[in-house]
């Protein structure tokens, strides 16, 4: 993720601050992402993302 941000640093103004963070802090702040699927019931879905859960 850090390498991808570095590749696009000229496209946004706040990337420089993120890239200056120590590696440990960067990992804590940006290491995990969560996504919300529109139309799905609230709550965490545990399993393979490409499996039909309905």
Domain residue extents for the chain: 1-31
The pLDDT value given to residue 53 = 56
pTM: 0.50
Decide: helix, strand or coil at residue 32. Answer: coil
Residue 22: pLDDT band (50, 70, 90) is very high
Which residue do the tokens 């850090």 mark? 2
Q: How far is CA 43 from the centre of its chain?
A: 18
Q: How far is CA 50 from the centre of its chain?
A: 19
In whole angstroms, give the CA distance from residue 14 to residue 8.
Answer: 11
Computed over every residue of the chain, the mean pLDDT equals: 79
């Amino acid at each position: 993720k850090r390498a991808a941000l570095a590749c696009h640093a000229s496209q946004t103004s706040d990337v420089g601050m993120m890239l200056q963070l120590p590696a440990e802090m960067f990992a804590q702040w940006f290491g995990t992402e969560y996504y919300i699927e529109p139309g799905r019931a609230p709550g965490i879905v545990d399993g393979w993302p490409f499996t039909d859960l309905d």
